[in-house]
Amino acid sequence: MSQDIATPIDIRQRVAIVTGGAKGIGKAITETLSQGGAKVMIVDIDIATAAKLAHDLGRCGRQVEAIEADAASVGDASKVVEAAVEIFGGVDILVNNAGFYPFTPFLEVDEDCWDRVLDINLKSVFFYSQAAVRQMISDKKPGVIINLASVEAIRSIKHLSPYAAAKAGVVTLTKALALELGPHHIRVNAVAPGAIKTPGTKRMRQFLRKEVSRHPLAHRTFARHLQTLMATLPLGQEGEPNDVAQVVLFLASEAASYMTGSTVVVDGGFTLV
């Protein structure tokens, strides 16, 4: 008898940890994985929003918990995995989604800015993966890690240099971990979104508008450049968080069982023009 077409993407009863899972792309990932039947632990510094999302999804019969933790903290990574074990009995899927992308011209990037961007976008991926993998190996269970990279790793725009470096690091780290963890039946892949409508990109646009009015000469050309990029997007518009979440669901599921070390670009054609 042939298999039901939906069977390979069934993730019922798997336990997923989603960093930055309260808003934007992370929120869509939380919703999609829980809709697919996974038990989800939202990790976020914005605990009020995370707790409300967990509560709302709980009312729809989903098993979702929220924990206040910093993606950039190595200590918090162990604390989060311990909580997932205590509440849900283990960890099967880790989505390293938390990110931070301040627009800063190269000459204005100071050490604090560099450290914060690298800590949230890259160090977090390393140490949350390490904590989750220790648990997966000790439970002798297969696992999945999905890292949020960015088209910035492939085709940079101006004023995001530490972020571009961090996301290129995420792409390479994804390959390095896939190589080491394959023998443990742990798959590691990345998703590289293009321009997606989220609270983070809204903040970026507001910041840019302020900069253009304060320093018209320095920033107007750049703002026009961004406008042109958006106007020439092959798929014609910015993406929605759910466009990324659907790909994360695919990578988390058995439908992607022979994929590891890949970075899937989800950008409406941004990197083509």
Ligand X SMILES: NC(=O)c1ccc[n+]([C@@H]2O[C@H](COP(=O)([O-])OP(=O)(O)OC[C@H]3O[C@@H](n4cnc5c(N)ncnc54)[C@H](O)[C@@H]3O)[C@@H](O)[C@H]2O)c1
Q: How far is the CB of 45 from ligand X (least distance, A)?
A: 4
Using the rule CB under 6 A, is 94 a contact of ligand X? no
Q: Is 264 near ligand X (CB under 6 A)?
A: no
Please give the full DSSP string across the chain, using - where no structure is assigned: -PPPTTGGG--TT-EEEEETTTSHHHHHHHHHHHHTT-EEEEEES-HHHHHHHHHHHHHTT--EEEEE--TT-HHHHHHHHHHHHHHHSS-SEEEE---------GGG--HHHHHHHHIIIIIHHHHHHHHHHHHHHHTT--EEEEEE--GGGTS--TT-HHHHHHHHHHHHHHHHHHHHHGGGTEEEEEEEE-SB-SHHHHHHHHHHHHHHHHSHHHHHHHHHHHHHHHHT-TTSSPBPHHHHHHHHHHHHSGGGTT--S-EEEESTTGGG-
Size of the site for ligand X (CB under 6 A): 29
CB nearer ligand X, residue 199 or residue 261: 199
Asked if 26 interacts with ligand X (CB under 6 A), we say yes
Give the residue with the Cβ less far from ligand X, 133 or 195: 195
Q: Is 150 in the site for ligand X (CB under 6 A)?
A: yes
- x/- binding map, residues 96-135, to ligand X, per CB under 6 A? -xxxxx------------------x---------------
* Nearer to ligand X (CB atom), residue 68 or residue 254: 68
Residue whose CB is less far from ligand X, 54 or 183:
54
Taking CB under 6 A as the rule, does residue 68 contact ligand X? no
Q: Hey, what's the torsion of the CAs at 160, 166, 170, 171, to 10 degrees?
A: 60
Q: For residue 240, state whether it binds ligand X (rule: CB under 6 A).
A: no
Establish whether 163 is a catalytic residue: yes
Residue 25 lies near ligand X (rule: CB under 6 A): yes
**Count of CA atoms in the C-beta half-sphere (13 A) of 154:** 19
Candidate list 72, 91, 188, 265; residue touching ligand X; CB under 6 A: 72
Of residues 168 through 227, those in contact with ligand X by CB under 6 A are 193, 195-196, 198-201
Cβ closer to ligand X: 43 or 132?
A: 43
Binding site for ligand X (CB under 6 A): 19-20, 22-26, 43-46, 70-72, 97-101, 120, 148, 150, 193, 195-196, 198-201
**Which active-site residues does the annotation give?**
163
